[in-house]
Amino acid sequence: MSITLKNVRYFVAVAEMQSISRAVQDLNVSQSVVTEAIRALEVDLGVQLFTRHARGMSLTHAGYQFLRHAHQILASVRHAREALSMRPDAVTGQLNIGVTSLVCGYFLPYLLERFRSTFPQVEVRVVEDQRDYIEHLLVNGELDAAVLIVSNVQNRQALHTEVLQQSSYRLWLPAGHRLLDGGAVTLADLAEQPLVALKLDELEDVATALWRQIGRKPQLAVRTASVEAMRSLVATGAGLAIMPDVLYRPWSLEGDRLEVLPLQEETPTLEVGVVWRRGMRVSDNTHNFLALAREYSRSHKQTFS
């Protein structure tokens, strides 16, 4: 007869209670079932596990040795059950994520799709707002994590940041533009060109800082909060734009072509990543989200330039 998990559990109960009659009260089985289980273990192991006496039962030396192994057996089974109960499709709870408008349209959808397909029972709540307000919610513990342009994060003493994607800035221009005949352009080359600015996620501040470096003022033709409008405006000749490559697509929605050129000046790098509060206990769902974000970043690793 082979050792069964049930017999091991009965043995541990009797060893701890030092009595079959007291053990069966917790086990909710008959005394004969437990007696037979102990007898079967002793036959299978070839040793006597208990000494029977009027006051109950006490472990023999072999019984003490087997008790140690019995606890390990039950612990291993318990850990295995816990691991199985943590299957991704069995995980529940809530995940609160913050995001800014730009990242919401160009990075978060891929992470959410991966997270929701892996952990379908977790309720995901997304808050889209300005970067400073998202930081406020993170510090207050109202959000578990955020996906932001981390190069813009201000409260670095309270917030931990981790870069997932990097993107350089280049010049967007319409097909056939005369600047395409040369190579890299300078900001001075653009001083008299009409420009389109994107009022989104503080990207306009980057362009303003670049112009300030050379002491020139850009010729702004249009300011828009829509990336798609930006593409259409550039593609149809309304103006040029200095934009991060993570936003670049070669065609506008109307099917007009956009081209890109590098800038000779050194430009900052746009960094997209995850942010969470320092010193906060990271929940299991947040940990899973961060792990998937890192995995996605590694599998789609690219530095735009």
Q: What is the pLDDT of residue 152?
A: 85
pLDDT of res. 61 = 93
Please give the Cα distance from 57 to 31 (Å, whole number).
14
CATH for 168-268 is: 3.40.190.10
Q: What is the spatial distance between Cα 47 and Cα 3, in angstroms, rounded to a whole number? A: 13
Question: What value, to the nearest 5°, has the Cα angle with vertex 178 and ends 176 and 183?
Answer: 105
Name the residue ranges covered by the structural domains of the chain.
5-84, 91-165+270-301, 168-268
Check if 91-165+270-301 and 168-268 are the same fold.
yes
Dihedral sign (CA 6, 7, 12, 15): positive
Predicted confidence pLDDT, tens digits, the chain (305 residues): 578 899 999 999 999 889 898 888 888 889 999 999 999 999 999 999 999 888 888 999 999 999 999 999 998 888 777 666 666 777 789 999 999 988 888 788 888 998 999 889 999 999 999 999 999 999 999 999 999 999 889 999 999 999 988 888 999 999 999 999 888 898 888 888 999 999 887 788 888 888 888 888 888 999 998 999 999 999 999 999 999 988 899 999 999 999 999 999 888 888 899 999 998 888 889 988 998 898 878 776 544 33
Domain range 91-165+270-301, CATH architecture: 3-Layer(aba) Sandwich (3.40)
Coil, strand, or helix at residue 139? helix
Residue 303's pLDDT is 40
5-84 in CATH: which number? 1.10.10.10
- pLDDT score, position 300: 65
Strand pairing category for 258-261 and 169-174: antiparallel
For residue 147, give the H/E element and its range: strand 145-149
